[in-house]
Structure 1
Amino acid sequence: MKKLNEFPEIETERLVLSKLKEEDLDLVTEYLQDRIFSDLTSNIPFPYTRKNAEFWLKMSEEAFDRNTGYTFAVRNKERQIIGAIGLHDRDGDKAELGYWMGRPFWNKGYITEAAKALIEFGFKELQFNKIYATYFLHNQASGRIMEKIGMEQEALLKQHLKKDDEYFDVMMYSIFRK
């Protein structure tokens, strides 16, 4: 992955993707209180605390410093955080896409818009060959987002993720630079 010295800012029609900040954490903590986020993702705990948010911010900053990932705050044009999206390096030439959106902002196409911009950034700026994402089979909405952004179903990964002592199958979607 190509190393950028400054954390980038990406603007889309309705959104600004920018660096996570300490000031975002109260809203992040508030959004992620809803159990649905833990149920639909592999890495968001329930209950979600301010300490979880602080740890996430620290990990995001370290990933950027080590050139292993970019976690963007998804912001409206007023620059209020409404969700997050990230690309994390897996083996240098491919990256994993992950995202969440605050519940008041669901079903408005924001993640689709942010993900399209991030995929373009990943291919053009970071020179990835492949970007992939996975979702729990009970989270069909995430699969629809992956299709809308041009990803294609690649594989069903059996018992691929463990959460709360239970193994889950996940579907993997991917998209390639060429």
Structure 2
Amino acid sequence: MKTLEANHIILRKLTLDDAEKVEEYASDYDVAKTTLNIPHPYPKGGAQEFITSILEAEKKGKIAIFAITLKDNNSLIGLINISGPNASRRAEIGYWIGKPYWGKGYGTEAATAVIKYGFEEMKHNRIYALAFTDNPGSWRIMEKAGMKHEGVLRQHAVRDGKPVDLTYYAILREEYTG
């Protein structure tokens, strides 16, 4: 897998050495509540298991996952992934940023770099992402990365035992290249 570079960040291969930082950020309720998949409370040692399973999925070509790191000191600040090649040539991206790094543009830089990777390296035709409707920070990242709002999926998922609405954004290859 390639290393991707943006203005202030580098996206590199995720490793088991990242488990401590992943666990630290994922354990923050404010981070966990913005995702469908991060449990709260986060289980001790959960990051090791997560990284092991996601790297296995990556080996099988199901996903590409990157550690988001600061260019100036290589500190891990979050994760971003994109689903692998498929017959429909579409991919989903998902990401989270550690709370100390919110609002600094790192999510937008990461999403923009992964969208480029998805179109140019993985040859996808459509890239999409979803966020909770009450998480404007996430859907603003999608907008700034060039994605267009396509609608709201009402009660599409369950978080903390309650149905939640997800807002849906996507970008097409022709919009990316156009």
- TM-score between both structures, scaled by the size of structure 1: 0.91
User: Residue 61 of structure 2 contacts residue 85 of structure 2 at CA under 8 Å; is this kept in 1?
Assistant: no
- 1: CA distance, partners of 2:102 / 2:6: 17
Which ranges in structure 1 are unaligned for 5 or more consecutive residues?
A: 1-6
Residue among 109, 112, 116 paired with 2:105: 109
The residue number in structure 2 matching 1:134 is 130
Asked whether the equivalents of residues 31 and 98 of structure 2 are also in contact (C-alpha less than 8 Å), the reply is no
- In structure 1, the residue matched to 2:45 is 51
3-state SS, counterpart of residue 59 of structure 1? helix
**Letter of the structure 2 residue corresponding to residue 121 of structure 1:** Y
Taking the TM superposition and a 5 Å limit, the aligned residue runs for 1:1-178 are 7-77=1-71, 78-89=73-84, 91-92=86-87, 93-178=89-174
TM-score, normalising length from structure 2? 0.91
Please say if residues 26 and 50 of structure 1, whose CA atoms lie closer than 8 Å, have aligned partners that are also in contact. no
Is residue 74–residue 84 contact of structure 1 (8 Å, CA) maintained in 2?
yes
C-alpha distance after superposition, 1:100-142 (max 9, x if no partner): 0111111110010111111000000000000000011110111
1:3 corresponds to which residue? none
Aligned to 1:4: none
Q: CA deviation at 1:49?
A: 2.8
Deviates more, 1:82-91 or 1:26-35: 82-91
Counterpart-to-counterpart distance in 1, 2:172 and 2:25: 32
Please, what is the CA RMSD of the aligned residues? Answer: 1.3
Extract structure 1 runs of 4+ deviating beyond 3 A.
89-92
Question: Which consecutive unaligned segments of at least 5 residues does structure 2 have?
Answer: none
Distance apart, 1:168 and its partner CA: 0.9
The Cα shift of 1:164 comes to 2.7
Q: Percent identity between the aligned chains? A: 39
Residues paired across the two proteins, number:
172
The answer on whether the counterparts of 2:66 and 2:80 sit within 8 Å (CA) in structure 1 is yes
1:33-58 deviation digits (Å, cap 9, x = unpaired):
21112221101110113432112202
